[in-house]
Structures are given as structure tokens and as C-alpha cells.
């Protein structure tokens, strides 16, 4: 463990089911930000619980959540994000999401057809608040975002009842307190979309499950909940299923804006129907049981998309001459599921 004399300024919290974070550790050590601690939360699901456990272990006023399969775009990403939080009305700062160079043709197709896998790099700090009067998204995700600890505690952290969608729910509750969410200028992280049809379908299935639970927990969000206990909703569901061939050519997008798009986009169709299947599954699971949904074990235990890396290591790299200071301290904590 390496420590700074003044104590860390930022807590970098990395939820990781596999615990393989050596690639990301080396990436962090190359950052110009030096006053940090790293908390790795291993083998905990859902992600909301893992992040909350990491926040409990943190000792700083800024919590920076980073997924284990993310890769920071340049050496000043974290420094820039932390600087944006100096504005007291900003509670959450995020980075844009980009496709890594080594992504496969299939992954590029996913990014073109399915929304929210790629977001544009902005040249100025951009406010990206989720709507309060209807369902919608911020451009920020927990792939890489920094949060004021005081605000995190004020809203009660992430909702552990949600198997997915905990980030959009959290950001909604932050915005409800009139804080701003900002995408930092010239900041991006690389992240790979699902690498196979199977992983794409599985991920979107659990998005659908999470949507049902999120809608029921926050009815004020107007999440277009389809009440499957009503006959007309069942007819609508049947019509949607019968329209499956047409759905390969007509697509409705919620993000970045509501729009109809025409064209052959099979991956968008498969992801949409996977969400629908998850929605139906979640609806009837909730109807038959009171309390939380079963955790998406298959999703939580799916290995992160990473390239071949060396064995896990926290030995710091030699920093650049302009930033030769002691790297942040590392708290690598392992929690087991209950």
C-alpha cells in the first residue's frame, strides 16, 4: 500500500465480479490525478450493492465509480472530472463513451444499431439532466462517473432492489434535489459493447426486468409501464409479437431523442424484443412474489469484456516526469454475497 502524506482526495470504486482489474489499475496509475484511493469490491451483486459497499469503505468527499472493463481515454480524464465538481451545483460528472479500436465488427454493428453504447465527446462541459416530468435518460452512466459524497448520502446511495437500472434511478433522485449532472469536456472512456448475440440478448433481457421494478418503485417517473393485468395490454403485447417481421425495418428509439427510424437493423430488433421478454418475465415474477426480484445471476457472473492482461498486479508504474508523486493508496476489499 502506498499513501500520500495529505490523504487521498478521491475514492475510486471498482465493482468487479472476477476481480481482474490489473489492466484498469495500470490505466489509473498513468493518470495525472495522484491523490486517490482505490477500492475494489469483488464478487458482489447486484451492482448497486457493490457500489454502496465501496462507498461505505471510502474515506474521501468524492466517489468515482469506474467499471472494471472501462479504459480511460487519456491521462487527464479523472483530473478534469474532479475539477468540474468544484461547482457546488454540480453533483455528478461523467465521461463520454467511445468504441475501442480493437472492437470487433459485430461490436461496431451493435454500437450503430443499439443506443447508449457510444456517446459523442463534447468540447465544453454539457449539462445532461434526466427529465423530472417523464421517462428519459442522462448521457452519464456509472461506467465512469464522479459523485459528491454528501449528495450520494443525501439520496441514500444506489437502490439495491434494482438488478439493473440502478444508475438511471440514482441520477433521477439526484436531479430531484435540483443538482446538475454534467458530461465533462474532452473526457471519454473506452468500453466494448456485447461481443455476441447471446450476451446482447441476455443484457437487454435484464434491462427489461429492471425496467419493471424501477417503474413500480418510482411511479412518478412515468416510465410507460405496460399493465399486463389488463386485457388491452395483453392485446397490445400480442400485436407487438405478431409484428416481429416488420420490427426488423421499423424501430423506435428513446435515446438520445424519441424518434422512428426505418431500415434493416436486426440487432436493434433483437435487443428490443429481449427487453420485452425481460419486461414480461419481471412483471409476472413481481406479481407472484412480494419483495425483490431474484438477482440476475447470469448477468452478474458474466466475465467482463477484457483483453489479455498480465496477472493481477498493483505495483505502480513509473509516473511521467511532470507528475512524479506517490500514487494513490489502494484498498482492495473483497466482500462475499449473503
Per-residue pLDDT at 1: 42
Domain membership of residue 2 (yes or no) is no
Domain membership of residue 251 (yes or no) is yes
**Pair (166, 315) in one structural domain:** yes
**Pair (21, 144) in one structural domain:** yes
**Pair (290, 235) in one structural domain:** yes
Interval 289-302 mean pLDDT: 41
Tell me the per-residue pLDDT of 201-213, one tens digit each, with 9 for 90 and over.
999 999 999 888 8
Domain membership of residue 4 (yes or no) is no
Domain membership of residue 100 (yes or no) is yes
Domain membership of residue 5 (yes or no) is no
**Pair (272, 310) in one structural domain:** no
Interval 120-133 mean pLDDT: 93
The C-alpha cell at 129 is 439532466
Which domain does 81 fall in, by range? 10-194+306-334
Of 5, 8, 33, 31, whose CA–CA distance to 317 is shortest? 31
Domain membership of residue 227 (yes or no) is yes
Per-residue pLDDT at 301: 36
Place of cell 442522462: 138
CATH of the domain at 24: 3.90.550.10
**Pair (67, 180) in one structural domain:** yes
Tell me the per-residue pLDDT of 141-196, one tens digit each, with 9 for 90 and over.
999 999 999 999 999 999 998 888 899 999 999 999 999 999 999 999 999 999 99
Which H or E run includes 175?
Answer: helix 166-176
**Pair (113, 237) in one structural domain:** no
Of 274, 238, 223, whose CA–CA distance to 114 is shortest? 274
**Pair (247, 106) in one structural domain:** no
Say which residue, 224 or 183, is predicted with more confidence: 183
Does pLDDT of 97 surpass 90?
yes
**Pair (139, 242) in one structural domain:** no
Residue 192: partners with Cβ closer than 8 Å, 6 or more residues away = 69, 99, 100, 103, 107, 305
Total domain count, the chain:
2
> Where does residue 310 rank: exposed (0-12), middle (13-18), buried (19+ CB within 10 A)?
exposed
Domain membership of residue 119 (yes or no) is yes
Mean pLDDT of the chain: 82
> Where does residue 15 rank: exposed (0-12), middle (13-18), buried (19+ CB within 10 A)?
buried
Domain membership of residue 3 (yes or no) is no
Per-residue pLDDT at 293: 44
The C-alpha cell at 115 is 443506443
Does pLDDT of 3 surpass 50?
no
**Pair (180, 201) in one structural domain:** no
**Pair (50, 121) in one structural domain:** yes
**Pair (215, 127) in one structural domain:** no
**Pair (167, 64) in one structural domain:** yes
Amino acid at each position: 500500500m502506498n499513501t500520500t502524506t495529505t490523504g487521498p482526495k478521491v475514492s475510486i470504486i471498482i465493482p468487479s465480479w472476477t476481480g481482474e482489474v490489473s489492466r484498469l489499475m495500470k490505466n489509473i496509475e498513468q493518470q495525472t490525478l495522484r491523490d486517490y484511493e482505490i477500492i475494489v469490491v469483488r464478487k458482489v451483486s447486484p451492482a448497486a450493492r457493490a457500489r454502496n459497499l465501496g462507498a461505505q469503505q471510502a474515506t474521501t468527499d468524492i466517489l468515482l465509480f469506474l467499471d472494471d472493463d472501462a479504459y480511460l481515454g487519456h491521462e487527464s480524464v479523472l483530473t478534469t472530472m474532479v475539477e468540474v465538481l468544484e461547482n457546488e451545483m454540480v453533483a455528478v460528472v461523467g465521461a463520454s463513451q467511445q468504441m475501442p479500436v480493437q472492437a470487433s465488427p459485430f461490436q461496431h454493428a451493435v454500437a450503430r444499431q443499439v443506443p447508449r453504447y457510444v456517446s459523442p465527446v463534447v468540447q465544453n462541459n454539457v449539462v445532461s439532466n434526466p427529465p423530472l416530468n417523464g421517462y428519459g435518460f442522462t448521457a452519464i452512466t456509472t461506467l465512469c462517473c464522479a459523485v459528491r459524497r454528501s449528495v450520494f448520502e443525501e439520496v441514500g446511495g444506489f437502490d439495491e432492489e434494482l438488478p439493473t437500472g440502478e444508475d438511471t434511478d440514482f441520477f433521477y433522485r439526484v436531479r430531484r434535489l435540483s443538482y446538475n449532472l454534467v458530461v465533462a469536456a474532452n473526457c471519454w472512456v473506452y468500453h466494448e459493447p456485447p461481443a455476441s448475440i447471446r450476451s446482447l440478448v441476455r443484457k437487454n433481457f435484464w434491462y427489461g426486468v429492471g425496467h419493471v421494478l424501477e417503474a413500480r418503485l418510482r411511479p412518478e417517473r412515468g416510465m410507460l409501464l405496460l399493465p399486463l393485468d389488463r386485457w388491452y395490454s395483453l392485446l397490445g403485447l400480442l400485436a407487438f409479437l405478431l409484428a416481429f417481421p416488420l420490427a426488423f425495418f421499423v424501430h423506435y428509439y428513446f435515446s438520445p431523442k424519441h424518434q422512428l427510424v426505418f431500415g434493416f437493423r436486426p440487432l436493434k430488433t433483437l435487443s428490443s424484443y429481449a427487453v420485452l421478454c425481460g419486461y414480461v418475465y419481471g412483471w409476472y415474477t413481481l406479481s407472484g412474489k412480494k419483495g425483490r426480484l431474484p438477482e440476475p445471476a447470469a448477468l452478474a457472473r458474466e466475465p467482463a469484456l477484457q483483453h489479455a492482461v498480465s496477472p493481477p498486479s498493483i505495483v505502480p508504474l513509473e509516473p511521467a516526469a511532470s507528475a512524479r508523486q506517490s500514487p494513490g493508496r489502494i484498498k482492495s476489499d473483497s466482500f462475499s454475497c449473503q
